[in-house]
Structure 1
Amino acid sequence: MQVSRSRTFAAVAALFLMTSPAAVAQQDRACTSVTLDDPPRTMIRCPGGLLIEAEATARLQILAPSSGGPPHAVRLDTKAVLIDLKTARPFQIMTPHAIASVRGTVYAVDVGPGTTAVFVAEGQVQVGRRRGPGAVLLGPGEGVDVSPGAPLAVRRWPQERVSRLLSRFGR
């Protein structure tokens, strides 16, 4: 794993909007961002025990309270992120199709055309539709695909699918 560059940032209401690993803007609380080469991704460490790894071409926005404090959400539009949250505090990922809410866990969210996939490596994640009823609770090794009109079905993901997703984050 090679580190190609490092930055320190500060954060408030919209911590940062990222359209590429280099396009980052923040204010107030410090987050640290490092661009990794193999595979290409950005690792972001924020206050409150939050680690976010985003694929190099992921489009996301990290949100924090306007009063300061650690981030409470990520808005993810494309590609995948891996979240490692070791503290017991609310945190969620919002995609066009789903909302994944957690407390102290490791999980991945992958947004594609018309669908969002959520996989849990550790802990528990509640996943619901962005619009409409229905939610499921995922445990370690489980995942769900969220797309319009399809039922939310919790499945134990095959190792091949898990490996394919996690390899995008060097795991």
Structure 2
Amino acid sequence: MNTVSLDAIGAGLPLAAAVAYLPRTLDVTTKFTCAMFVLSVVISSAFSYCDANAVHVVPGAILLCVSIWLPRARGHNREIPAAMIFALTFISIFPVDIYGAYTCHASSGQARIGGAGFGDSLLHTPLSLSVIHSLIYYFCERDEKRGQVPFGNFLRRQWAFTLGDGKPGAAAPAE
């Protein structure tokens, strides 16, 4: 069995962000996104593998993202922020990484969850999918409002921990 530790940058930083975004994520989650999230976790669990060097987690959350992004082009799913994509993507791959750290046999006998630091997929995968989400939503909203979308306000709405007056369920500020 491996000696397992948690890297502060590669796992601790995205874990803190995912936990901070969790109230807002739960506020905008629908039955459909819950079903896609569960399927994402199943995909990540079923198709991940390890070798002597690392645990390789298949990001099943891509399915969740695509199922959200495709209807967005037709004007649906407007309320889903990039913060939700970050939190759900991290939550779908983190348990698989922990399980792999404990069950796979590392050549040195030591396994670090998020051990690659800034280069670890626990940080890169949620961040890259949420940035892509932000870009898709920005250009969709820009088309809908004929270019009248201030970029700073848009990013604030996508990445804020809360909406409106500081409560997770508050309405988005009017523009």
**TM-score of the superposition, structure 2-length normalised?**
0.24
Which of the pair has the greater relative contact order for Cα pairs under 8 Å at 6+ separation? 2
More strand as a share of residues: 1
More helix as a share of residues: 2
* Structure with larger Rg: 2
